[in-house]
A and B are shown apart, each in its own frame.
Chain A
Amino acid sequence: MDHDEAVRQKATERYLLDELDPDLRDKFEEHLFDCQDCALDVRAAAMFVEQTKVILAEPPAVSVANVPAGAATAKPGWFAWLRPAFALPVLALLLAVIGYQNFVTYPSLVATANQPQVGTWISLNVSTRGTAANSVRVHRGEGFGVLANLPPQDGFASYTADLYNPAGKQEWSRQIATASQETRQIYISGHNLESGTYTLVVNGVTPGGESKELSRHPIDVQIQN
């Protein structure tokens, strides 16, 4: 057998696959021991076969193609939200919100706060009992002020003001310290304010801690939209 015949017959591959009959095998080996090209071919192919056995005998590595069907549908858990696929869009959204707040919302609020404000106020005389209801008209979300004229030199150590909503439920209670001034300013927040008749009750607190109701003032609140 010469080299061309060996190549034509794919003798290298057939030799390693044990496909040559004994006579042809002997002829190829006689050539193989003399031909360095064929010897190189056979040795390279033999090494490929030997290493292939070793590699294919290894346990299969987990790859995308080999992921079991169940694994693909497994619950990902909370940390899955930290994956770039989720975290990056969320981060971008947060940056957009922060940017909008910093460049639009916050400057607008600052500008509004710096504008001169004309508030709504009512005046109450604490010493007067049985006064008619005060009316106040405010926009939704707006509060209003109450100027409370306290009775002079009545011997109380302090005062408290309690606000009741139209349902009769107490909204809050504030302590008012005595001072040289007889008029106190009480601000009623517009938060949760609704139309109806509120009641402001002013109590005097004696130095012994005893509380005494001084006056009760209905306030008719009208919310404008």
Chain B
Amino acid sequence: MQLQSFDESYVERLQAGDFRTQEHFVAYFSELIQLKLRSRLNSPQAIEDVRQETFTRVFAALRGGKIRQPERLGAFVNSMCNNVLLEHYRASSRDSSLDDEEQQDFPAANVDVLGAIAAKQMGEKIREILEEMPERDRRLLREIFLEERDKDAVCSDFGVDREYLRVLLHRAKQSFKSLYLKNVAARPPGAVAVEKR
């Protein structure tokens, strides 16, 4: 996914229905929306529903010329997502769904071959980073992320504090980020390839 600045030109291309710009827009914000929603919604289907509804409303707003600050496009998407999420909470409490609402077509995130290769390279890099870590740090990550144990209890067991955990993740991320940036920048817009097992 190539990095693009969100400016007036970008918004104009979205409004004009430029396919590649729409692909980029959906791919870029899909990842952020999914990250945002995963701590708030339990079901993948609910996450997908909210994601789609958010894009439906954003594209409707674009077509209606309601985006007045192009440089705040991201904040607008986030705000729209919050609104949809609140409606989803209310709808869930009333045992109704958003399925009856009008659905509009917009580019879906897809998986491409080059993206799969890039994902494989990134997986190998992460494996390398993990192998270079001390055994204790690997066990720490395992208990936090894989076994999803209580973080305070894990830190206590390993004799570290929460800041140690943050720094461990920060360093790992920094080691991985350059390759990630290289692969993300090289991928065509709209391509999302995450190794799912």
Which residues in A have some Cβ–Cβ distance to B below 8 Å? 10, 12-14, 16-19, 25-26, 29-30, 32-36, 39-57
Contact = CB atoms under 8 A, between A and B. Distances in A.
A56 B126 contact: no
A10 B166 contact: yes
A17 B170 contact: no
A48 B153 CA distance: 23
B195 interface: yes
9 contacts: A10-B166, A17-B151, A17-B169, A19-B166, A29-B36, A33-B32, A48-B172, A52-B145, A56-B146
A188 B154 CA distance: 91
B109 to A, nearest CB: 13
Interface in B90-126: 122-123, 126
A39 B181 contact: no
A44 B31 contact: no
Contacts of A45: 169, 172-173
Interface in B139-172: 141-142, 144-146, 151, 162, 165-166, 169-170, 172
Given A13-B170, A48-B172, A53 B145 contact: yes
A34 B72 CA distance: 6
User: Could you say which of A12, A46, A51 has the most chain B C-beta atoms within 10 Å of its C-beta?
Assistant: A51
Contacts of A18: 39
A56 B177 contact: no
Interface residues of B, number: 45
A60 to B, nearest CB: 10
Contact of B181 (A17, A44, A51): A44
B197 A43 contact: no
Contacts of B86: none
Contact of A55 (B31, B36, B126): B126
A190 B138 CA distance: 77
Given A40-B184, A48-B176, 5 more contacts: A43-B35, A44-B173, A48-B172, A51-B122, A54-B123
A33 B130 contact: no
Interface string B9-38: 000000000000000000011011001100
B78 interface: yes
B194 A50 contact: yes
A40 B79 CA distance: 20
A29 B35 CA distance: 10
B170 A10 contact: yes
